[in-house]
Amino acid sequence: MAKLIFFLAVQILLLAAVSSTGDNGENFARTIDRKLLGLHKREKLTHFKAYWHDQVSGPNPTSIVIQPPLSNSSFFGAIAMIDNALTAKATMNSTVLGQAQGFYAGAAQKELGFLMAMNFAFKTGKYNGSTITILGRNTAMSEVREMPIVGGSGLFRFARGYVEARTEWFNPTNGDACVEYSCYVLHY
């Protein structure tokens, strides 16, 4: 019995010593094998086009201003949340590939320049459930705007790349627009 009590006391002391040293924050990360995440496979480059429909007018807008601009002369300071359709062609009645969800904010005082932060969430075909994340500067009056792809999920996990945005049409009366996004995505 004395041996059992001594053994238990030693175990309790060892447990207390281990737990009292605690985690000092140095062991929060570990190196893992790339194969566990499929990163041993050959990287692919995928190119596709999607048409981004920004509807600010009508009874069901897909883009709403949640912070108005600081002045009437520019969009500076304004923030718009979006849930825009992504279609296969420039017409709204073409196949819906997914949604562009996020926001754009007026980030330039002397030109029409936006900070774009959005996910392209795909809903059709083999990419259903996958996303790419775009974060960058969009000078809307430029013919071509290039923005980086900073990540993705699903079949686009570990994605990187860029998009080129070109305005297909813009209605100055109501503010609605259609923009072609040509996407170049590196992924596994």
The tens digit of pLDDT for each residue in 154-170 reads 999 999 999 999 999 99
**Whether pTM exceeds 0.85:** no
CA-to-CA distance for 132 and 153, rounded, in angstroms? 7
How far from 124 is each of 9, 14, 54, 88, 161, CA to CA, in Å? 62, 57, 20, 11, 21
Instruction: With a cut of 90, say whether residue 177 has pLDDT above it.
Output: yes
CATH topology of domain 41-187: AOC barrel-like (2.40.480)
Distance CA 151, CA 119 (A): 9
Partners of residue 114 on adjacent β-strands: 106, 138
Residue 103, number of CB atoms within 10 A of its CB:
16
Share of the chain above pLDDT 70, in %: 86
What is the residue extent of each domain of the chain?
41-187
Secondary structure class of 9 (helix, strand, coil): helix
Tell me the three state secondary structure of residue 56. Answer: coil
* pLDDT tens profile 91-128: 999 999 999 999 999 999 999 999 999 999 999 999 99
